[in-house]
Structure 1
């Protein structure tokens, strides 16, 4: 059985499984399969309406699970999503900022944005998005996402089918190349995650060490790298802390203050936003930079 016959025979179940896995958070892109299915639908080998319905239903099933988890467990579930999807842990802050600016309409395009697609729904649920608005924009977004890739396959049907014919000619080598590309995709995501973790280990400071630092160094300052949504969800603050918000670090701490001890903090998974900010500070020439570990536990211990 060649590749085209395989997709024609099992196309709809494959679409459902691929979309469920991707929208469930796994780093397995379903878009290429939707494009191929769309190309085959244009030739009459498959039904476009069935494929579209299957993809949308799979999206809605996965999205409702994440919405329920976001409602039940709040922001705690976001770290789990980042670990499963291999999205950068900084995607939580990025998504929070987009939700704050655009609200529920973000769900119309979230599935097209790498990093945001995995986190947008549970983040919106954790921040109080009404269920009716979630359903409205999620349904529209699912149709837009699935329809765009199926439509692209139908528009470029001749080119896609020509590529499939060539892949069948090459045989198993084409599957090996595709598998290698997926491997590279996963490796790049893992490498980015590990880079931040290595930096975090080098410059981290524990809450207990932070308490001593605040007592012994009157110039030490904490830079709160949490998103505005995260700060609104937990209004506690550290002594001597400044909020980064939408400002650059140079606006918050001018370069002439590079000799001060600067501790970055966030409640995102693996202190990723804080570690990324620490990396930017070190590159900018700030000499004494630390990342506060502990997240919410550190906030509980040290907050005013």
Structure 2
């Protein structure tokens, strides 16, 4: 931590720019810690607050805009790729989509404060065909809020941060062991989550021909229930649906499915 503070003090603007840019494009780097350290550097006079805020916001906007454009053209394939490190990619994507469903466009303003949603929000907005200027305005507000919040905390608690780094230096090897044990514990926890959710990675599917035969069957009992669960951001009420399907918002699926017949096969589709 002390080395990181020293790095910020000597190469602050470049380090902050690179770290926030890296986090914005999905890399696991501590942008919040970089902004805290930069705020402390502002308090000591090593950095200037307006320049720091400008550099941090530009870095975030570049990364977010890149994912927004990629999301616009790659859709959920990009979201799935970004979620590969998650224990359950489907949950990762749906958590972000649910945030948009509940909070709407406000999600872009607060996304950076929500782990797991911060990286997913820009490409999700792009895949939902949000207007670029609207995205820029909301993302700019979120970037300014995020950078200002953490830099301000670093500025206000500079002495506390310095005391912590001195404590790390004094404790030395003991702190290293604690951090190592914590890291190992986290790795074991992630492996456990991965194993727990691995069963959900294999989703049973039905071939189009088989489904068509069932739908064409004269036996009413053999007719499956077909459910359109496209997310609200992708669903166009005027778009064509598979004949005979019913529309269910995916965020309400757990409740809606309770009202469906239990003696029939149920198939869902989202594309």
**TM score, norm. by length of structure 2:** 0.78
Structure 2: segments with no counterpart, 5+ residues? none
> Take 2:176 and 2:92, find their aligned partners in 1: how far apart are those partners?
31
The residue that corresponds to 2:144 in the other structure is 143
Alignment of 1:50-129 (within 5 A): 50-83=51-84, 88-100=89-101, 102-129=103-130
Contact 1:40–1:46, Cα closer than 8 Å, also in 2: yes
Q: Secondary structure at the match of 2:130?
A: coil
Alignment of 1:1-304 (within 5 A): 2-3=2-3, 4-83=5-84, 88-100=89-101, 102-171=103-172, 174=175, 177-178=178-179, 181=182, 188=189, 192=193, 195-201=196-202, 204-208=204-208, 210-211=211-212, 214=215, 215=217, 218=222, 220-232=224-236, 235-245=239-249, 246-247=251-252, 249-254=254-259, 257-266=261-270, 296=271
> Take 1:232 and 1:263, find their aligned partners in 2: how far apart are those partners?
20
CA pair 239-182 structure 1, distance change in 2 beyond 3 A: farther
- 1:219, distance to aligned residue in structure 2 (A): 5.0
Contact 2:225–2:267, Cα closer than 8 Å, also in 1: yes
Query: What is the total number of aligned residue pairs between the two structures?
Result: 265
Deviations 1:140-189 (A, max 9, x none): 21110111111112222222221111112233664565566566557656
> Take 1:69 and 1:234, find their aligned partners in 2: how far apart are those partners?
26
CA pair 46-185 structure 1, distance change in 2 beyond 3 A: farther
Structure 1: segments with no counterpart, 5+ residues? 267-295, 297-304
Bigger CA drift: 144-153 or 89-98? Answer: 89-98
> Take 1:87 and 1:58, find their aligned partners in 2: how far apart are those partners?
29
> Take 2:130 and 2:40, find their aligned partners in 1: how far apart are those partners?
37
